[in-house]
Amino acid sequence: MRYLPLTPDDRSAMLNKIGVDGIDRLFRDVPHSAVVQRSIFDLPDTQGELGVERALTKMAAKSKVAGSLPFFCGAGAYRHHVPSAVDHLIQRSEFLTSYTPYQPEIAQGTLQYLFEFQTQVALLTGMEVANASLYDGSTATCEAVQMAQRITKRGKAILSGGLHPHYAETVETVAGLSGTVTRSPVTPGKAEDIIALIDDQTACIVVQSPDVFGLIRNLKPIADAAHAKGALLIAVVTEIVSLGLIEPPGAQGADIVAAEGQSLGVGLNFGGPYVGLFATREKFLRNMPGRLCGETTDAAGKRGYVLTLSTREQHIRREKATSNICTNSGLCCLAFTIHLSLLGEEGLSRLARANHARASALADRLADIKGVELATQAFFNEFTLKLPRPAASVVDALAEKGIVAGVPASRLLPHDKDVRDLLIVAATETNTDEDCDALVHALSEAVA
């Protein structure tokens, strides 16, 4: 087996040194009845690269690749062009095959990029501090709610109807244990009156912007109202590129920002791994979940970086930790931070504008189709259409023709009759004019 360096001779010599006469002796604590033979597993034997590659290539070919057809799905995961340098760099052995940087003397590479990542996330979101990542946007949102519950010592979390339903369900599942979670009803294309729901039991309001229907939300008034009642505003961002063009939540009064960073560097990956971004105000620092990297000096006086404030974390605080997270999204942080370093101020701004321009133009053309209405007036690169038919069937029909038109709202909210005809469409810099033409054409036919 190509990955196993010990030969039969090595194994004998080692057993000899240990002083036992067979490998079974080393497993002597395993209850006899639990020792199984190879034959019990109905699984194949060792296979060379060629065979594995053939089988998996064949399997993968059964998926329709997003990049090979006109493709307009978003709803929490966005297809962007990742510069080729990103994948090259993250595959460097020293990044790919290193552990969490607990030995800072030989992990400054990882530590410094985490420090830079934290800075970038803080800058993007307009917040004071950010951590070194959580799993993804949905779990980051969940951690944010739990953190708000800890800070305010209140249990009630109010979720906007515009919060991605998967995020809402995740929060309900987990943060529901440490308090109550209320979901405001869905108001596609409109901002609900969430302020009315805030009371003095409220730990936090969770508002996503752009929301799951693409709508850009004005957070300032919500922040003010929340703060007036001693509650925190948690802003959620699922399309981080939007912050290249839109006022950041920090500037609108958010207390915690939980975001999905997948759009930069990471790719679609069928849903994971992604990277959870988490930022907040300095005063909440010691309540933050997740790892933090900080600047310090070494014994020779040189600047260096270390993981810090780990007294918040499970390995020190155990059941009193601010979170149970251990492994996070290290390598995805790296991809994110490299992509953002490549873009820089100018590149990010151009990218964001290119996305908005493309989505705007597409929205105009689609809204011109008879029977199709644009439900979202203010958006970044994603908007919702009201179709004259159930959106799911339209999506299926177009998929048959090799066009992936978007995500039907009913996929996320099957029980909400009102969203049955809504189609959520995202357009990015990766969609060509021909892609858009194909969608306009096919949708016109499908709803005719």
Partner 1 sequence: MNNQGRPTAPGTVEDNELPTISGDRGLQHEVSLIFELGRPGMTGVDIPEVQMSDARLGGLRRKGPVGLPGLSEPEVIRHYVRLSQLNYSIDAGLYPLGSCTMKHNPRLNEKMARLPGFADVHPLAPQQTVQGAFEAVSELMRWLTTLTGMPAVAMSPKAGAHGELCGLLTIRAALEARGEKRHKILVPSSAHGTNPATAAVAGFTVQEVPATEDGHVDADALEAALGPDVAAIMLTNPNTCGLFEPRIKEMADAVHKAGAYFYCDGANFNAIAGRVRPGDLGVDAMHINLHKTFSTPHGGGGPGAGPVVLSAALAPFAPLPLLVHDGNEFQMIEHADEASDGAKPFGRMCAFHGQMGMFSRALTYMMSHGADGIRQASEDAVLSANYILASLKDVMSAPFGEGPCMHEALFDDSFLEGTGVTTLDFAKAMIDEGYHPMTMYFPLVVHGAILIEPTESESKESLDRFIHVLRTMALEAKAGQTARFEGAPRLAPRRRLDETAAARKPILRWKPKELPQAAE
Ligand X SMILES: Cc1ncc(COP(=O)(O)O)c(C=O)c1O
Interacting residues with ligand X (CB under 6 A): 326-327
The residue type at 69: L
Which of 372, 422, 427, 421 lies closest to 403, judged by CA?
427
Quote the DSSP letter at residue 83: P
- Judged by CB under 8 A, the chain residues 130 through 169 that form the site for partner 1 are 130, 132-133, 135-139, 146, 164, 166-167, 169
How far, in Å, CA of 184 to CA of 191, rounded?
11
Buried b (16+ CB within 10 A) or exposed e, 34-51: eeeeeeeeeeeeeeeeee
How far, in Å, CA of 112 to CA of 282, rounded?
20
Which of 253, 186, 120, 127 lies closest to 417, judged by CA?
186
Which option in partner 1, ligand X, a copy of itself, none does residue 430 bind, with CB closer than 5 to 8 A by kind? a copy of itself
- Judged by CB under 8 A, the chain residues 67 through 96 that form the site for partner 1 are 67-68, 71, 73, 75-77, 79, 83-85, 87-96
Strand order in the sheet with 276-280: 129-130, 276-280, 256-260, 232-237, 202-208, 156-159, 180-183
CB 442 → ligand X: shortest distance, Å?
A: 44
Asked if 7 touches a copy of itself (CB under 8 A), the answer is no
Which option in ligand X, a copy of itself, partner 1, none does residue 432 bind, with CB closer than 5 to 8 A by kind? a copy of itself
The residue type at 153: K
- Judged by CB under 8 A, the chain residues 421 through 440 that form the site for a copy of itself are 429-430, 432
Which of 404, 409, 402 lies closest to 383, judged by CA?
409
Asked if 353 touches a copy of itself (CB under 8 A), the answer is no
Which of 90, 154, 93 lies closest to 117, judged by CA?
90
Could you say which of 197, 354, 440, 447 contacts partner 1 (CB under 8 A)?
A: 354
Q: Are 210 and 217 in contact (CB under 8 A)?
A: yes
Which of 211, 234, 209, 217 lies closest to 165, judged by CA?
211
Q: Judged by CB under 8 A, which stretch of 13-21, 77-85, 150-158, 246-254 contacts a copy of itself?
A: 77-85
CB 61 → partner 1: shortest distance, Å?
A: 6
Please, what is the Cα angle at 118 between 114 and 122, to 5 degrees? Answer: 170
Asked if 273 touches a copy of itself (CB under 8 A), the answer is no
Could you say which of 224, 294, 433, 437 contacts partner 1 (CB under 8 A)?
A: 294
Asked if 213 touches partner 1 (CB under 8 A), the answer is no
How far, in Å, CA of 106 to CA of 97, rounded?
13
The residue type at 297: T
Which option in a copy of itself, ligand X, partner 1, none does residue 185 bind, with CB closer than 5 to 8 A by kind? none
Could you say which of 70, 213, 229, 340 contacts partner 1 (CB under 8 A)?
A: 340
Asked if 47 touches partner 1 (CB under 8 A), the answer is yes
Q: Judged by CB under 8 A, which stretch of 13-21, 91-99, 230-238, 391-399 contacts a copy of itself?
A: 91-99
> Number of residues in contact with partner 1, rule: CB under 8 A?
215
Q: Are 210 and 164 in contact (CB under 8 A)?
A: no
Is the dihedral angle over the CA atoms 432, 437, 438, 442 positive or is it negative?
positive
Quote the DSSP letter at residue 178: S
Could you say which of 15, 66, 83, 108 contacts a copy of itself (CB under 8 A)?
A: 83
CB 99 → ligand X: shortest distance, Å?
A: 9
Which option in a copy of itself, partner 1, ligand X, none does residue 54 bind, with CB closer than 5 to 8 A by kind? a copy of itself
Q: Judged by CB under 8 A, which stretch of 113-121, 194-202, 224-232, 438-446 contacts partner 1?
A: 113-121
CB 133 → ligand X: shortest distance, Å?
A: 13
- Judged by CB under 8 A, the chain residues 222 through 251 that form the site for partner 1 are 243-248, 251
CB 323 → ligand X: shortest distance, Å?
A: 11
Asked if 46 touches a copy of itself (CB under 8 A), the answer is no
Which option in ligand X, partner 1, a copy of itself, none does residue 323 bind, with CB closer than 5 to 8 A by kind? partner 1
Distance from chain centroid for Cα 94 = 24
Q: Which is nearer to ligand X, 129 or 325 (CB)?
A: 325
Q: Are 413 and 382 in contact (CB under 8 A)?
A: no
- Interaction site with a copy of itself (CB under 8 A): 2, 49-50, 53-54, 81, 83-84, 88, 91-93, 342, 429-430, 432
